[in-house]
Amino acid sequence: MFLGAISPASAQSADAGARIVAVAMADLGTYQGECFPWMRKVIGEATGIPMGYGYAEGYLTGGAVEVPLDDVRAGDVIQIADDEDVDPGADYPGLHTAIVLEQADGGKLRVIDSNSQWDGIVRIRNDYDPLASAETYSYLTARAYRFTEVVDGIVEVSQITVTPGSNAQIVTDGDCLRLRAAPGTGSTIVTCVADGTIVTVLDGTLDADGYTWQRIQAGSESGWVALIYLVGTSSTPTSPAPPVSAPSNPVISSGTISGSLPAGGGPGLVVWGGGGVSALISTAGADGCSVRSVWVTVSGRFIGYTNGAPAFVNAAWADRYPGDIPAQSPLIVICAGDPPRPNPTPPSSSPDAPVDGDGPPGPAGNEG
């Protein structure tokens, strides 16, 4: 389980790893651009120490040390690169950067990274295998780096373990977190606990459907939540917001699509007349669009549904839309096809475009 929660500057100092995780999680679901520049930003905010730009030298400039892959912990950085081409301008298939949240089963890792789907969005990946990713191309090597220094004066992060008997805070970037009767994305929903609620951690931790599940007490209700949305805290439990009724099975109702869908492939901005995502996909198909994914913006961040993906991939969407998508909802629908793949480097107008040369001279990679 990963550690760390933002706390007042008067809190006891914690290691850099907890700070790095807390800063990275604050970007979950937002557009941050390519993986290496985002990681570099996170390290700077968390430690106060600027990194260099190279895919090896940059870490050493920032005071990191290389650690064995089988000994990584929360806050370590995984870098997949060609050892013969680690200059700042490197650009080749497989180049990728990710931040470790925790170790998973079978030598895999739970990581958080940006641009893994070529869209600049920060996501969590629950079964990341850096060695397998590096083996995709013969020239790649997976390495791990650890930052241990912190400059005085930055925001403190408390290192409090999420263990039975301790308290934890729900951190979901504005959305509520589903409390389930049993571990697993298909189990009965007891209620939805508001972001920021302080809960009590109970005995019980199990893995299911790509998540580690933790049993908690939220007000008068107890149940299971995905551990990645809990951070340790010394605060006392609070009364959760009024319960959100558990939804019934989604009702597939017919709807209409207003707007243009690119049948040849690519994105289209539409307004949905109402109904479940299956109805949306069916309606779009009748219009010649084979839906690859659907996106909506919530409080300035993107939440997506990938057609045919496992449940854990679409967990954020399921939390947002447990039943029908409301009528008159504006959506971005990505149709499958053969449109030109966009340049993975964000355009100069993108939110994180370098200003006055403040950024690496080449792409930071987005594969793996």
What is residue 144's predicted lDDT score, i.e. its pLDDT? 96
What is the identity of the amino acid at 266?
A: G
What is the identity of the amino acid at 265?
A: G
Spatial contact of 362 and 89, defined as CB atoms under 8 Å apart: yes
Structure-block tokens of residue 343? 């340049």
The number of C-alpha atoms within 13 Å of 132 and in the hemisphere containing its C-beta is: 7
In this prediction, residue 353 has a pLDDT band, given cuts at 50, 70 and 90, of very low
The number of C-alpha atoms within 13 Å of 229 and in the hemisphere containing its C-beta is: 29
Residue 36 has pLDDT above 70, yes or no: yes
Nearest-angstrom CA–CA distance, 339 and 326: 30
- What are the beta bridge partners of residue 177? 193
Spatial contact of 95 and 367, defined as CB atoms under 8 Å apart: yes
What is residue 133's predicted lDDT score, i.e. its pLDDT? 93
Q: Name the H helices within the chain.
A: 16-25, 35-47, 57-61, 130-134, 277-286, 315-320
What is residue 40's predicted lDDT score, i.e. its pLDDT? 92
Spatial contact of 270 and 330, defined as CB atoms under 8 Å apart: yes
Distances 34 to 98, 102, 118, 346, 351 between C-alpha atoms, Å: 11, 22, 8, 8, 11
What percent of the chain shows pLDDT beyond 90? 21
Q: Where are the domains of the chain?
A: 5-146, 160-233, 257-335
What is the identity of the amino acid at 167?
A: N
Higher-confidence residue of 59 and 231: namely 59
Nearest-angstrom CA–CA distance, 346 and 307: 25
What is residue 357's predicted lDDT score, i.e. its pLDDT? 34
Residue 233 has pLDDT above 90, yes or no: no
Architecture of the domain spanning 5-146: Alpha-Beta Complex (3.90)
What is the mean pLDDT of the segment spanning 98-113?
89
Beta-strand relationship, 177-180 and 291-298: unpaired
Nearest CA to 193 out of 126, 246, 248 is that of: 246
Residue 343 has pLDDT above 80, yes or no: no
What is residue 253's predicted lDDT score, i.e. its pLDDT? 42
Give the chain's mean pLDDT: 76
Q: Which residues contact 43 (CB under 8 A, 6 or more apart)?
A: 20, 49, 51, 62, 77, 147
> How far, in whole angstroms, is CA 17 from its chain's centroid?
17
Residue 32 has pLDDT above 60, yes or no: yes
What would you report as the CA-atom Rg of the chain, rounded to the nearest whole angstrom? Answer: 21
What percent of the chain shows pLDDT beyond 70? 76
DSSP letter string, 253-312: ----EEE---TTSEEEEEEE-SB-HHHHHHHHHHTT--EEEEEEEETTEEEEEETT--TT
Of 46-50, 153-157, 329-333, 348-352, minimum mean pLDDT range: 348-352
Nearest CA to 213 out of 93, 222, 115 is that of: 222
- What are the beta bridge partners of residue 143? 79
Q: Which residues contact 173 (CB under 8 A, 6 or more apart)?
A: 26, 28, 29, 195, 299, 301
What is residue 324's predicted lDDT score, i.e. its pLDDT? 85
Architecture of the domain spanning 160-233: Roll (2.30)
Q: Give the range with max mean pLDDT: 68-72, 172-176, 360-364.
A: 68-72
What is residue 240's predicted lDDT score, i.e. its pLDDT? 52
Spatial contact of 5 and 22, defined as CB atoms under 8 Å apart: yes
In this prediction, residue 10 has a pLDDT band, given cuts at 50, 70 and 90, of very low
Distances 74 to 56, 159, 365 between C-alpha atoms, Å: 20, 11, 22
pLDDT digits (tens, 9 = 90+) for 107-131: 799 999 999 988 889 999 988 999 9
Q: Give the range with max mean pLDDT: 40-49, 135-144, 293-302, 323-332.
A: 135-144
What is residue 266's predicted lDDT score, i.e. its pLDDT? 79
Residue 140 has pLDDT above 90, yes or no: yes
What is the identity of the amino acid at 159?
A: Q
